[in-house]
Amino acid sequence: MATIPLYDTLGADTAEFIVNQCEIEVLVVDNAEKAEKLIEIRKRMASLRHIIVIFEDQVTEELVEMGRQAGLSVHRFSDVIKEGERNPKPEVKPKEDDTYTSGTTGTPKGVMLTHRNMIIAVPTSFNSAVDNFAPGYFGEDEVLLSFLPLSHMMEQDCHWLMVHYGGAIGYYRGNILKLSEDLQTLKPTFFPVVPRLLNRIYDGVMAKVNASNVVVRTLFNVAKWAKLMDLQRHGIFQSDSIWDKIVFGKIRAAVGGRAKVILTGSAPIADDVLQTMRASFGCMMIEIYGLTECSAIGCVTWPADTRPGHCGGPASCTSLKLVDVPEMNYFASEGKGEVLLKGPSVTKGYYKEPQKTAELFDEDGYMRTGDIGWLRKDGTLKIIDRKKHIFKLAQGEYVAPEKIEALYARVGSVQQVYVDGDSMERWLIAVVVPDADAIRKWDDRVTGKKRSMEEICADEKVSKLLINKKRKY
């Protein structure tokens, strides 16, 4: 059986494309609302036969009948489990999993990954980074808090890792605003995150520090320096030092108080954010670089390497090389160029996309990532650019929008930002999605009114607030 994860935020058109391309017969959803939406577009998905609903108390006779009229069978998750117990699985040859990656333009691509890809990539890379550095540090007593989408390749890797070690997995309740409460309840020892979450924690910490008196600010900076020096000199991850008791205890408690390994990936993380979190949490902070096409693992940082600004060296299952990108003045002979990866963790191609598969690999079988890297003398890789995500403005200036987006995403009241430009114009434009919670708090404090988000966003004062914050960055 091949599994194809779907983001529930993809939209009907993209979900329909993936279902039809893969000829999916069975879809698993968490609630009846999503089942109803699928039933409504059933006529556009000829292969679909069954919908399984996890929250089975929402499976009503009306929903089952609605599905039947559309040519679908709607099942409760528990009924499927019982059916499997009555009918043991036959021996079948393993198939690839297809994990769809959106890329930057066009329809999503189905990345074919096998069980072998992930089984090789995950334990070997983690073992080389953690177990070789601190044997016995990570084991069967670990607890993972899962809050990233399971269609996210890094999250799938972490699940395989817990299976490998025999650890436990706890799932957040589905409300990101309640994540802090879930952390306090589960108290995970292993916590994979994206930089945006660490940015939020960092911004909250620094806002309090900067609002304090000079004594508190000095104490914080000295404590941070002391912990990083201990780590750099002795390779010691401390969570019970004097600095933890008087400075960092509450910050560590924000992620449950038991963190042993925090894994960050999917996007670069700012140097000061990484260093501050490393000192505050008192645990291994490991940064990974990868794409869906290489099982999300291409490079991994060494736990004792406290220098920020890089994503480590090639994972133990991966070979890496750089190739010239002359149109952007990057040359492998100077240690800079497009990053290419090869190894047993790399996909064999895109599902039903022979042309794109051929374009993905070079003549030696290395996979093109599209990322521009700087391979430093110590063997670590720093991602410095994106090969395709660059455009020229009317005045001839080249712009890499991802760098601007990453900078503006640090603004506390911004949730998402998209930057674009046109070669016929001299300026950039940005589409900004505000952080609803932060904006509401600001509005309550300034106006004293309980306004809807539509009313708040229509207020010119809010636009000026966001623009002024961006200018500071």
SS3 assignment, position 288: strand
- Please count the other Cβ atoms lying within 10 Å of the Cβ belonging to residue 2: 15
Output DSSP code: residue 55: S
Between 32-40 and 61-69, two packed helices, what is the crossing angle to 10 degrees? 20
Distance CA 286, CA 274 (A): 10
Given a contact cutoff of 8 angstroms between Cβ atoms, the answer to whether 198 and 276 are in contact is no
Q: What is the pLDDT of residue 104?
A: 46
Q: Is the per-residue pLDDT at 176 higher than 90?
A: no
Question: 128 with 176: CB under 8 angstroms?
Answer: no
Read off the pLDDT of residues 177-211 as tens digits, 9 standing for 90 and up. Answer: 899 999 999 999 999 998 888 988 998 899 899 99
Which of 316, 345, 342, 346 is closest to 120 using CA atoms?
A: 345
pLDDT at 98 over 60: no
Q: Report the chain's mean pLDDT, rounded to a whole number.
A: 87
Residue 409 has pLDDT above 80, yes or no: no
Q: How far, CA to CA in Å, does 251 sit from each of 175, 199, 266?
A: 21, 13, 23
Q: Which pLDDT band, with edges at 50, 70 and 90, does 77 fall under?
A: very high
Which residue type occupies 92? Answer: V
Tell me, rounded to whole angstroms, the distance of Cα 1 from its chain centroid.
Answer: 26
Q: How many CB atoms lie within 10 A of CB 181?
A: 12
Provide the pLDDT for residue 321. Answer: 97
Residue 464 pLDDT > 60: yes
d(CA 34, CA 47): 18
pLDDT tens by residue, 346-397? 999 999 999 999 999 999 999 999 999 999 999 999 998 888 767 767 666 6
Q: Does the pLDDT at position 312 exceed 80? A: yes
How much is the average pLDDT of 262-273?
87
* Distance of alpha carbon 136 from alpha carbon 143, whole angstroms: 15
